[in-house]
Structure 1
């Protein structure tokens, strides 16, 4: 299968080609058609399987129509850490080079004023960590009534970091009619309850057994014989 078989727009296909990719990873091949069709998606995949492109590419296609308004972003991507949020921003800048979309990043450790200026210009794509997003919302600097697509990425890491109450609050602030894309490497009971509460008849895409290592990771075992050898090993 090629990217050209997935129903992506010409602009997105050109950007993918310019990036040197021709063959989608399993999660991209399975998830992209569902996202383009407007369905909620529950994706179970490890970091390193290409899931960022599995949601950024079809989102770019969906965003080719319409314009963002001040303080009212069109799409929202939640990430557990500012490093992951910055990586997603890079993906949008790379694949969306021909789209001229406004991408805003709301993360800690960055000037509040600079981030507010981006929101005021109108954000087609808002990428945020939960705490900073709720901070903006509670200050009245941000409205979530225009969200068309909500992405919750690395949900099991959100759980580990104590963000699930924030995620539940955010899910209740965005429109009921939004499309939700939910990605997690594992499905503990708390995450399962979250998907049952906030996803509507999702397409389930599972490309790796829970808690397995991504194929891009090489694992090795270095044996130690104990005693004094252990410290040397």
Structure 2
């Protein structure tokens, strides 16, 4: 078992972690955080429920602690496939960066463009976004990605399932070639492997669990239905 205090995080970040009640890092956190703090690219194979949000949030907070955001030019970018996942990342920043002078904004659909633009105009250190809404702001001229120093891609295989890979490729090309990239996926289909080879620089590969397995924190149940009747399936559900 690895303690967070052994991973090289700053006292301020460790205090924020302690305030949440966590002391022991999960396997993905124990392996990814020291590598991310060194500025290395990371390819993490890990499922939802393994603690990977903190695995990229915590080192990102430490690496961004020095420096200031410029209007419409975020210093870090987190791309998530759904509003729910993006919101989860935002809540993680709220917990862990509460005592640091860092700002972040959430760009997701279903929220007023104007409210999001006001945050961008003020300048944010970290932008957490779904691919479509991020590109919408870019096309409106409200956002520049030339200042991105750290880019995180979360749940890449879900982005593939949802048809976001062309958007993701475009976002990569709009950001500087020289940046740190943290890339997480539960599985590694050929299209995802191609992306990592194209956009990551000598990444450290971390497999917190075997691809396509379920995290230990998730409970699965099997219900056997004696008939193929759709109504019976619906009743069982």
Same fold (TM over 0.5): yes
| DSSP-derived class of the 2:24 partner | coil
Q: Aligned ranges for residues 106-185 of structure 1 at < 5 Å?
A: 106-185=107-186
1:30 and 2:31 correspond: yes
Are 1:203 and 2:204 matched, yes or no?
yes
Assess, with a 3 A threshold, how the Cα gap between structure 1 residues 227 and 196 changes in structure 2: closer, same or farther: closer
Structure 1 unaligned residues grouped into runs of 5+:
none
Distance 2:139 2:224 in 1: 53
User: SS state of the match for residue 30, structure 1?
Assistant: helix
Q: CA RMSD in A?
A: 1.5
Is 1:14 the equivalent of 2:15?
A: yes
Is the 2:106–2:129 contact (alpha carbons within 8 Å) kept by the matching residues of 1?
yes
Instruction: Determine the structure 2 residue equivalent to 1:65.
Output: 66
Distance in 1 (CA, whole Å) between partners of 2:151 and 2:203 is 13
Alpha-carbon offset, residue 101 of structure 1: 1.4
Q: CA deviation at 1:226?
A: 4.2
Q: Which residue is 1:4 aligned to?
A: 5
Quote how far apart the aligned CAs of 1:225 are: 4.0
Task: Measure the CA separation in 2 of the matches of 1:141 and 1:219.
Answer: 44
TM-score, normalised to structure 1's length? Answer: 0.97
Q: Is the 8 A contact 2:65 2:101 kept in 1?
A: no
Q: Number of residues paired by the alignment?
A: 233
SS for the counterpart of 1:8 is: coil
Q: Does 1:80 align with 2:81?
A: yes
TM-score after normalising by structure 2: 0.95
Take 1:85 and 1:23, find their aligned partners in 2: how far apart are those partners? Answer: 24
CA distance in 1, matches of 2:222, 2:184: 30
For 1:183, what is the secondary structure of its paired residue? strand
- Offset at residue 79 of structure 1 (A): 0.5
Which whole-Å CA distance do the structure 1 matches of 2:228 and 2:106 have between them?
50
Displacement of 1:7:
0.1
